[in-house]
Chains A and B, each alone.
Chain A
Amino acid sequence: DTAVSQTPKYLVTQMGNDKSIKCEQNLGHDTMYWYKQDSKKFLKIMFSYNNKELIINETVPNRFSPKSPDKAHLNLHINSLELGDSAVYFCASSQVSLIDGYGYTFGSGTRLTVV
C-alpha cells in the first residue's frame, strides 16, 4: 500500500535516448515534486506541481519535461539523455501547507544510469 510509488526503480539507457519516469501518490496530496540527487548526494528540486499546475520550475534543461495528467500523478520525461543526467530521481508529494509539519512524502527513487 505504497503512498508514493515511482517506476521504474532502475533505468539503464544509452545516450541520446528518450525515457520517462512515472510517479503516483495515493495520499490525496495537492502538490507533487521531482527532486534529483546527484553523485555528490545533493538533493535538489527540479519541478513542483500543485493541482496539475506548474508552480516551481528550477533551472533545469528543457530536455526535462514534467507532465501531470491529474493531481495524483506527476511523470518526468527526459529527451536526448546525456551522461550527466545519471542520478537518482525522487518523486514526492505534500499538502500545500506545512502546518502539520510533515513536509514531503518521498518515493523510493529511480536510479537512472546513462551509458
Chain B
Amino acid sequence: DQQVKQNSPSLSVQEGRISILNCDYTNSMFDYFLWYKKYPAEGPTFLISISSIKDKNEDGRFTVFLNKSAKHLSLHIVPSQPGDSAVYFCAASVHSNSGYALNFGKGTSLLVTP
C-alpha cells in the first residue's frame, strides 16, 4: 500500500527549460512533504520541504507547490541545468514528538540535456 506515488519514472528536459516533477499521496494525515535528490551510489540529499499549512515554498531555482485538496505536490526547477540530472524522491510524513517516518515515492529520474 504505497501512500506516496510518483507516476513518472523518468523525465527529459532541455537545459534552461523548466522541469516539473509530480507527486501524489493518499494519506490525508500527512503534514510535511519533502523532496530529495539522489545521485548514483550516494544517499538521498535533502532538497526542499513544505509544511501542510503552506501551498508554496521557494529556494533559489527550486519551488515546491502543494495542493492539499488534490493531495498533490510538484517540484519546479527553473532553469534546469545538466547537474540537476538525478533521481528525485518525493516524501511525506505525519509529524510526531517522538520522531517520524518518511514515506517515499519510487522516484523520478530527471535527465537535463545540454
Interface set of A (CB-CB < 8 Å, partner B)? 4, 30-31, 33, 40-45, 48, 50, 55-56, 58, 90, 92, 94, 96-98, 101-109
Query: Would you mind naming 22 contact pairs between A and B with Cβ atoms under 8 Å apart?
Result: A4-B43, A30-B99, A31-B99, A41-B87, A42-B2, A42-B106, A43-B104, A50-B99, A55-B98, A90-B43, A92-B43, A98-B93, A101-B34, A101-B50, A102-B46, A103-B49, A103-B93, A105-B46, A106-B45, A108-B41, A109-B41, A109-B43
Interface size class of B (residues with CB under 8 A): 20 to 34
- Nearest B residue to A58 by beta-carbon distance? B101
CB–CB B95/A98 < 8 A: yes
CA distance A50 to B91 in the complex (A): 20
CB–CB B99/A94 < 8 A: yes
* Residues in chain A near residue B46, CB distance under 8 A: 102-105
* Residue of A42, A98, A101, A102 touching B100 (CB-CB under 8 A): A98
Interface residues of B in 36-76 (CB under 8 A from A): 36, 41-46, 49-51
* Residues in chain B near residue A92, CB distance under 8 A: 43
The A-B contact count (CB < 8 A) is: 72
Taking the closest CB of chain B, its distance from the CB of A48, in whole angstroms, is: 5
CB–CB B104/A44 < 8 A: yes
Most chain A C-beta atoms within 10 Å of own C-beta, residue among B41, B43, B87, B91? B43
- Assess A106 versus B44: contact at CB under 8 Å? Given A41-B106, A48-B99, A50-B99: yes
Interface residues of B in 1-59 (CB under 8 A from A): 2, 32, 34, 36, 41-46, 49-51
* Residues in chain B near residue A94, CB distance under 8 A: 99-100
* Residues in chain A near residue B99, CB distance under 8 A: 30-31, 48, 50, 55-56, 94, 96
